[in-house]
Structure formats: C-alpha cells, structure tokens
Amino acid sequence: MIHIPVLKNEVLKYLDPKPNENFIDCTIGEAGHTLAIIEKILPNGKLLGIDWSPELIQALKFKIQKSKIEFPFMETRGKKRTKFSSPIKNNLIFVCDNFAHLKEIVKRKRFEKVSGILFDLGISSWHLQDSSRGFSFLRNEPLDMRYNTQSPLTAEKILNYWSGIEIEKILKEYGQEKFARRIAREIINQRKVGPIKTTFQLVRIVKQATPSWYHHRKIHFATKTFLALRIGVNDELLNLEKVLPQALEILEKGGRLVVISFHSLEDKIVKNFFKNQEKAGFLKILTKKPIKPSKEEVKINPRSRSAKLRAGQKI
C-alpha cells in the first residue's frame, strides 16, 4: 500500500517552512510529510526525523540515503535565480527513539534553531500491513502491538496476566468501549481455557462478548479494543503529555508546533496544552478549531477521516 500523508497541504500551511530553516518530524514514519517539508527548506535546511520503530528508520535510510532522491530548487546567485538539484540525504538526520525523549535527542544531535515541529500521531501503513505485530484485526498475527520490540510490555501480556479490572479500565479509558466490562469478563473466562495469543482469538472473544447489533455498524466491533490495547502497550497518551512542553521549549521564538491526532483523548491533551500555554503567554493558537480533512481527501484516503490538526506559534 502506498503511504499517503494526512492533511499534507495543511501541514505545510501551518508549519510554513522556508529555505534554510530547521524542522523536526517527531513521527517520521514513511516520510510523507518529511519529503514535502524538505522540498521547502532546501538547500541548507535540516530535518531531524524521529521514529520509535527501527524497521521504519532503516527502510527510510535505505530509501533516501542509498537512492538518489533529489529535489530541484531555486537559488539566488548575485542577481540571477538559478535552478539546482540537491540530494536530500544531506538535509536529513534520522533517530530511532521514543519522542518522549525529544529534549535529550535534540541535545545529543546538537540540533538547533528549530523553526517548526510536527507530530502525526496516526499509526503507519507499515505497522498495519507488514509488521506482523497484531496491530490489525484483519490479519491473524501474534498479539504484540509494540512499536519497538525492546519494550517489555505486549498486548498478549496484558490479556493473559492483568486483572479483569485493569483490562476493563484500559478498554474503557483508552478505547472508550461501552462493552468494556463484558469484554474483560470474556477475556478472563477464555484465558482459563488457554492463553490468548493471536488477533483472531481476540476478535472472536470481542464478538462473543458483545450483542449482535454491535457487529453490523460502520466501525468494526473490535476497533476500540485493539486501539485501547495499542495505546496501553505503547503508553501513547503519557508520552504525548511528556513531549509537548519539550517541543515548545525547543522551538525558536516564532516557531510553529503542528499536531495531527486521530483519537479524542489525544486531541483533548493537545487542545488543553495549547489553551494553557496561550493563557500563560507562551503560545499563540493558529487554529481556533481543529482542521479536518476534506471530503475529497477522505475519499482518497479513508484512514484520514478521524484526523484533527491543531497548530500554535511560540511567542
């Protein structure tokens, strides 16, 4: 599947990248947004790309550093405007790490004068299609759900060793699953028979625990359970809360912060952070309401339907 970056034009509008400026993409993924930003910051702008999954970083290094991806750009020499091409590997710095360590990463890489920082909190196509880690309920895979396999916690551990109350809490809080208690109870019953190891086992459990009308809605009946487990395994909400103050601190005065969220709990964290920082006089909110994809974009890329973009500028 070809990766389509969500709200690409809106990201460029609110980040407003210009030649020779420096940017950070905290969720570089498959580099959809990154390539669009790089094109604007040539010839000497740098982009620090962070991702927690080493496989994605390796694939990008191969794609960009080994291949000869170049962008044409215009440069002023004396009174003339001349067209050049630049190999963008010279403009990119890759880091495999959790973005919750943003300040430490920036210090380690001596990455300075940052004009903009981007977060695209959506899961990448690679995780769903190719990782074989159980992110999708459409494939029969081990219940792993880790972005980085160095992390100790897996979905399988949660399902087989956590208490019913803890499982219910995750499903209710992170997935906003109305049948959280029934699903948690069924998980406990099933694991008495044998360990829950695969995605299809979990799908069957959710189906058994929920009423038949719940199985015929637009959204698949297992969506919220899988989402909740993924958030819990990777501690996504806490990491977001940790990184936003770091991002604002790192930005130059006038620098821009853009966050695309796909979940109401993520959006609430971003919205509250922006409001609090504006009240404190550190940030100007550029999007009074979140920016959503157009009907045309949703038609081309259905995964974009729940995306919300918020942007702010450091004062």
Q: How far apart are the first and last CA of the chain?
A: 40
% pLDDT > 70, the chain: 93
- Pairing of the two strands 283-285 and 251-261: unpaired
For residue 2, pLDDT beyond 60: no
CA 102 to mean position of chain CA atoms: 14
Do 185 and 170 contact (CB within 8 A), yes or no? no
What is the rounded distance in angstroms from the CA atom of residue 21 to the CA atom of residue 59? Answer: 25
Domain boundaries defined on the chain? 8-126+243-314, 132-234
Comparing 170 with 87, the larger pLDDT belongs to: 170
Q: What pLDDT score was predicted for residue 1?
A: 41
CATH class of 8-126+243-314: alpha beta
pLDDT band at 311; cut points 50, 70, 90:
very high
For residue 298, pLDDT beyond 60: yes
Mean pLDDT of the chain: 94
Rounded-to-10 torsion of CA 267, 311, 301, 146: -50
Q: What pLDDT score was predicted for residue 207?
A: 98
Fold of 132-234: DNA polymerase; domain 1 (1.10.150)
Which amino acid belongs to residue 64?
A: I
Q: Which residues of 226-260 are buried (b: 16+ CB within 10 A; e: fewer)?
A: bbbbbbbbbebbebbebbbebbbebbeeebbbbbb
Q: What pLDDT score was predicted for residue 76?
A: 64
- pLDDT (tens digit, 9 = 90+) per residue, 36-92? 999 999 999 999 999 999 999 999 988 887 666 667 766 666 666 666 566 788 899
Residues 6+ positions from 204 with CB-CB distance below 8 Å: none
